[in-house]
Amino acid sequence: MTSSAGESDGRDAGLPRTETLAAPEVLRPAVPRWIGPVFFGMGVVTVPWVLYLAMTLPARSGTGHDRLAWVGFDLALAAHAEAVRANRLRF
């Protein structure tokens, strides 16, 4: 069935007209490429530092938990650096 100008043949009744969309622009990542390797290096260097602290810090001091506090802090720091690096690789 052919239709004349201005008439609808019923195949697109009720559907919006579609337009051809241009290809999306290629966006630069919000984080520079060097961030991933730097945070990976920070995480790798932090692990031996944690081991050194665990063995050299005195078992007792004013608070009694200095060793646990510093080792725990440094482990959290290394885990955070690794999480940032892993997240950077995803984008």
Helical H segments across the chain, by residue range: 35-56, 66-90
pTM > 0.85: yes or no: no
Virtual torsion, Cα 60, 66, 68, 71, nearest 10 deg:
-130
**pLDDT at 14 exceeding the cut of 80:** no
What mean pLDDT, rounded, does the chain reach? 75
Token duo for residue 26: 């290629």
Cβ atoms of 85 and 43 closer than 8 Å:
yes
Whole-number pLDDT of residue 16 = 64
- Sign of the C-alpha dihedral computed for residues 58, 59, 64 and 69 taken in this order: positive
Cα separation, 43 vs 15, whole angstroms: 55
Most confident of 16-25, 27-36, 52-61, 70-79: 70-79
Token duo for residue 59: 């078992």
